[in-house]
Amino acid sequence: MVERTNDEDVAHQLAELLEALALDSTVRARLARFGGLLAAANARTNLTAARDAGAIAEHVRDSLALAPFVRAPYVDVGSGGGFPGIVLALATGAATTLVESTGKKAKFLVDVARALGLELRVLPQRAEDAGREPGVRATFASATARAVGSLPTVMELTAPLLAVGGVALLQRALVEPAERAAAEDAAPILGLRPLEDIGLEGDLRIVRFIKETETPQRFPRRAGVPSKRPLCLTV
Ligand code: SAM
C-alpha cells in the first residue's frame, strides 16, 4: 500500500468534507490541495490556528460564502494563510491581489499560487502602504478583510484600495452597537456608504459598504494608526 503524507491526508479528508457543497469538481480538488499545502506549511511554521482538515474546512466554507459578491479585480487585506483570498481566487477565477504584511505568510501565499498555477499578485506589505501606491490605490471592484480588525479599521484599510463603485465585503459575527455606530459615522469620511448586511448562517453576516466618492488622500493614516485609533470608535 502506498502511504500518504500528512498533507495528502488532509487534502483527502478536506475533499470529503467539501463534497456536500455545490462546487465544480476541479475547484473542490484545488481547494483540497490548498488545504493540504496549508496543513503541511502550518506544521513547520505557525500560519493559522486551523490545524486539521475539520478546522480548515470551516474556514473554507466561511470564505466561500463571500464568493457570490466578489467582483474583479478583487483584493483581500490580511490574507494570513489564505482565507478568504486564496479560496475566493480559486472559486471565482477573479483577478486577485492579496495584501499580507507578515513575510512568512506572504511567502506561503506566493508558494501556494505557484503550486496551484493561480495567477494572483501578493503584496508583502501593510495595507496602509499598499493603499498609497499608484497602480494599487483606487483600482479594485471588491475587497475583503477577514479577522483583521474592527469595522472602522478594516474600512480604512480597504476603502482607499477600492475604485468608486467598488464594494467592501466585511464578514463578521455579531457587531456591537458601538462598533456599528462608529462604522456608520466613519463611512462618509472614507467615501463609503453602508449597504444592507447579507445574513449568513447563525450570527454570521457580510457587512457591506459601497465606495461612492474618492477616499480623501489623508487615508489610510500611517501604518498601525487605523488599528490603534479606529475612526469614530472610542475604545
Ligand atoms: N484573513 C485570515 C483569516 O481569516 O484566517 C488571517 C487573519 S489573521 C488574524 C490577520 C492577518 O492580517 C495576519 O496575517 C496579519 O499579518 C495581517 N495583517 C494585519 N494588519 C495588516 C495590515 N495593516 N496590512 C496587511 N496585513 C495585515
The single-letter code of the amino acid at 207 is V
- Specify the pLDDT at position 102: 97
Q: Distance of CA 119 to CAs 90, 111, 145, 163, Å?
A: 10, 11, 20, 21
- Specify the pLDDT at position 33: 94
The one-character DSSP state at 36 is H
pLDDT at residue 4 tops 70: no
Digit-coded pLDDT (tens) for 32-49 = 999 999 999 998 888 988
The pLDDT-based confidence of 234 (bands split at 50, 70, 90) is confident
Can you read off the three cell numbers belonging to residue 65?
A: 460564502
pLDDT at residue 3 tops 70: no
pLDDT at residue 1 tops 70: no
- Specify the pLDDT at position 17: 87
- Specify the pLDDT at position 5: 60
> Which of 88, 101, 206 is the best mutation target for the ligand 1 pocket, counting ligand atoms within 8 Å of the beta carbon and taking the most?
101
Q: Whose CA is nearest to atom 3 of ligand 1?
A: 83
Digit-coded pLDDT (tens) for 102-149 = 999 999 999 999 999 999 999 999 999 999 999 999 999 999 999 999
Q: What are the phi and psi torsion angles at 115 (to 5°)?
A: -60, -35
Rounded to the nearest whole angstrom, what is the distance from the C-alpha of residue 1 to the centroid of ligand 1?
Answer: 41
Q: Whose CA is nearest to atom 16 of ligand 1?
A: 102
Helices (H), the chain: 6-17, 25-44, 53-64, 85-92, 103-116, 127-130, 151-158, 177-190, 225-228
Is residue 172 helix, strand or coil? strand
The whole-angstrom separation of Cα 36 and Cα 226 is 34
Helices (H), 117-176: 127-130, 151-158
Mean pLDDT of the chain: 94
pTM above 0.75, yes or no: yes
Digit-coded pLDDT (tens) for 51-105 = 888 999 999 999 999 999 999 999 999 999 999 999 999 999 999 999 999 999 9
- Specify the pLDDT at position 137: 98
pLDDT at residue 7 tops 90: no
Q: Angle at which helices 25-44 and 103-116 pack, to 10 degrees?
A: 140
- Specify the pLDDT at position 10: 87
The whole-angstrom separation of Cα 35 and Cα 104 is 17
The neighbouring-strand residues paired with 3 are: none
Contact call for residues 98 and 127 (beta carbons, < 8 A)? no
The whole-angstrom separation of Cα 107 and Cα 34 is 14
The whole-angstrom separation of Cα 8 and Cα 145 is 29
Mean pLDDT value across residues 160-183: 96
Pocket of ligand 1 (CB under 6 A): 48, 77-81, 83, 99-102, 105, 126-128, 146-148, 157
**For residues 119-144, b (16+ Cβ closer than 10 Å) or e, as one string?**
ebebbbbbbbebbeeeebbbebbbbb
pLDDT at residue 235 tops 90: no
> Which of 100, 136, 206, 225 is the best mutation target for the ligand 1 pocket, counting ligand atoms within 8 Å of the beta carbon and taking the most?
100
Percent of the chain with pLDDT over 70: 97
